[in-house]
Structure 1
């Protein structure tokens, strides 16, 4: 059976008998026997606010720690309550209770002392953290630090090599030749989303050939779909409008030509145009796209191959419509619309059906070399006859517009 123990209060004790409890802010110390502690007190003992200030310093071979009971680095708990530590005397089996002070030991970098005299060479926060990782970090943190430093060295070497290579190319080709090559590459990148264009064509219809938009085989496959479009009643067309259908397609269905050949061709193009506009409003496309509308398999494959990009998601291949593909859809839809409406297209309705911004639609029209216009002076006082839409027309020769430059509005100072 364990022996009994008695508590003995020491009463008024000297400062040298007070116990000290320390806590290291950056982790635990494995070899506490190697720590050398030193306590410093304020010399102004006559000042009641400063005479109880204490500074505790712990030093090792590689690191120094400092704790204080005043200022920003002090623990607030010393002011809120009083702490005691019991020390057991195993001979007399009496436990003496002493007052205790709590200190939070913060690591002090050797560079901090030099920073007072050399502010320009002061270490950054990253350097301080790296020093702590070298001293107390885990193996994983040390490996990450070593890898980051190697990458930093490799990056500096890469920048130096790129700078030397760029200087050699400029000296070999000349600055003007390089600028011309960059301009040609930019023009090719801008035209990547445009349909095939014949800038030397003599007629408007041959600038963006219809066979490049729909081959004869694909146009023939749309026969049944075109017949369904042409057979729609005015009530069904009105229902499409009420349900938020594509207004560009509805306008053509409301005014289909009376002649059989022109009516059939317009109906087929209207069906294909409705597929393009529907595709532009979606992000991820399923393999059932267009099957409900009776889309032929050859047309579906053309849409997936031309206007979508394949991505992998959860082990499956998905077809998505990216931002660049939306611009491509806008260009092909506009080219098809020009053939359907005598080389003049309503940009405002097409932009709304595509779900893109007006600036983007105008940029596509300009890249195609079209002439932009807006009706003026058509009964502005009559809302029914007023036309605020913007139009694009194909006029030979094609217009060369300046590159699109986005300008941000400046905020007004109040």
Structure 2
């Protein structure tokens, strides 16, 4: 009777627990060829992008093989899924399950050089090139860093001029000189904030087609917000009042109180409200955690899109962190405004929005002007009996878009007595 065996799952955190599966690009190696196999790892373990780099080298009497898990020759399948291999321990009759990593071993022929290491036609090195080679091989970290910066900044003037001239010639032929001049004038008038607004179609026939809803919230993300939107729509009046009292988003509470009763319209509005709450919450952050939004039920795909679109990656103590800069906060304001326009018949309450975003009203107005919106403010007059006068400032999308002139204020210096 065959002996029974059981499964034992080994740890996955240490490299010693990981198995290595190799395949040879030029065929199978005969069993008689003894292979000397060694694995090398990157020394820079503080860099999160380099600490997982590995190189596997195998050597036989006839040929040498090399494979790596980074660069052009690596297998992309390691990034898409995980592989596991089982090893039977004949003493304990237990099958040990290890995490595995695949390597593609390619033959290395002595004397044959790759494209990266091919010598230039002119083999005569200048004194400066020789010094650079010595620094690259034996220099200090400071010297290597200076050499790398200098090489990155070295651009041939002729090559640069040719590339610029070719690009300018192509653009002029494609659009025309007058159209380009008009675009430059429009861009200067709108300012730098026009770069952070959603894709704009100023020649659209309908207001809702100027800033498309799909450009603000893609169909895939909209479908992923089904469960989160349902929870948002099921909030009770007591919970909404608690949200208002605890300093929650005023825009979110206002739209929750005015949710449509119709099924399809209610579903659409609830998903948009949840996405708006994520945008406003992200604008309040400085350093964003990798768990951002997950506690509120934000889908992983939507969270990844938010971090990629509205944050900047920085390194801190060898770790990658996502940060919301002032320019990204301006981008969040523009996208939030575009979303509110679709949610409220092309009208947006700027006063509530700038309070939720934590930016000044003047900055909010600049963003609205860069998007070509029409500013609205109710007339200042005494309210009727029993009515509350609306003092908020609004922005509306009306065709054609408004082109605001740039006002440069020059303050006069006071003369010294």
TM-score, normalised relative to structure 2: 0.53
Equivalent in the alignment of 2:391: 388
Q: Which runs of 5+ in 1 are unaligned?
A: 1-164, 170-176
1:214-225 to structure 2, matched below 5 A, reads 214-225=217-228
**Alpha-carbon shift at residue 405 of structure 1 (Å):** 3.6
Task: Note if contact 1:343-1:393 (Cα within 8 Å) is conserved in structure 2.
Answer: yes
Q: Could you tell me which of 401, 406, 410 is aligned with 1:403?
A: 406
- Aligned mate of 1:260, from 248, 260, 263: 263
Look up the SS of the partner of 2:255 in the other structure. helix
Name the residue aligned to 2:362.
Answer: 359
Are residue 203 (structure 1) and residue 202 (structure 2) matched?
no
Change in CA separation of 1:290 and 1:348 when aligned onto 2, cut-off 3 Å: same
Higher relative contact order (CA 8 A, sep 6+): 2
- Of residues 285, 290, 293, the one that matches 1:290 is 293
Contact 1:343 / 1:394 at 8 angstroms: preserved in 2?
yes
Number of matched pairs:
243
Q: CA deviation at 1:376?
A: 1.3
> Contact 1:378/1:385 (CA < 8 Å) preserved in 2?
no
Q: Unpaired runs of 5+ in structure 2?
A: 1-160, 166-177
What displacement does 1:380 show? Answer: 3.6
Is contact 1:346–1:392 with CA below 8 Å preserved after alignment? Answer: yes
How do 1:369-384 residues align onto structure 2 when only pairs under 5 Å count? 369-376=372-379, 379-380=382-383
| SS of equivalent residue, structure 1 residue 350 | helix
Distance in 2, matches of 1:206 and 1:181, equals: 20
Other-structure match for 2:33: none
Indicate which of 332, 336, 339 corresponds to 2:335. 332
Q: Distance in 2 between matches of 1:359 and 1:302?
A: 29
Q: State the shift of 1:191 in Å.
A: 1.8
- Aligned pair partner of 2:305 in 302, 305, 308: 302
Q: TM-score, normalised by structure 1?
A: 0.54
Match of residue 237 from structure 2: 234
1:190 deviation in Å? Answer: 3.6
- Give 1:191's match in structure 2, choosing from 181, 194, 197: 194
Deviation at 1:215, TM superposition (A): 1.1
Deviation at 1:372?
0.1
**Alignment map for 1:143-154 (pairs within 5 Å):** none
Deviation at 1:379, TM superposition (A): 3.9
What SS does the corresponding residue of 1:391 show, helix, strand or coil?
A: strand
Instruction: Say whether residues 1:345 and 2:324 are aligned partners.
Output: no
CA–CA separation in structure 1 for the residues paired with 2:257 and 2:413 = 45
- Residue aligning to 1:101: none
C-alpha distance in 1 between matches for 2:400 and 2:325: 32
Distance 2:414 2:387 in 1: 37
Measured in 1, the distance between the counterparts of 2:208 and 2:301 equals 25
Contact 2:193–2:367 (CA under 8 A) maintained in structure 1: no
User: Could you say if the C-alpha distance between residues 337 and 179 of structure 1 is closer, same or farther in structure 2, counting changes exceeding 3 Å?
Assistant: closer
Counterpart among 242, 247, 250 of residue 247 in structure 1? 250
**SS class of match (1:395):** coil
Give the alignment partner of residue 324 of structure 2, picking from 317, 321, 324.
321
- Bigger Rg, structure 1 or 2: 1
Partner of 2:129: none
Q: 1:319 is paired with a residue of what secondary structure? A: strand
Q: Is the 8 A contact 1:241 1:250 kept in 2?
A: yes
* Maintained 8 Å contact 1:379/1:385: no
| Structure 1 residues 6-28: Cα deviation after superposition (integer angstroms, max 9, x where no partner) | xxxxxxxxxxxxxxxxxxxxxxx
The question of whether the paired residues in 1 share the 8 Å contact of 2:193 and 2:330 is answered with: no
Tell whether the 8 Å contact from 2:187 to 2:194 is kept in structure 1 after alignment: no
Measured against aligned partners, the alpha-carbon deviations of 1:90-118 in whole angstroms (never above 9, x if no partner) come to xxxxxxxxxxxxxxxxxxxxxxxxxxxxx
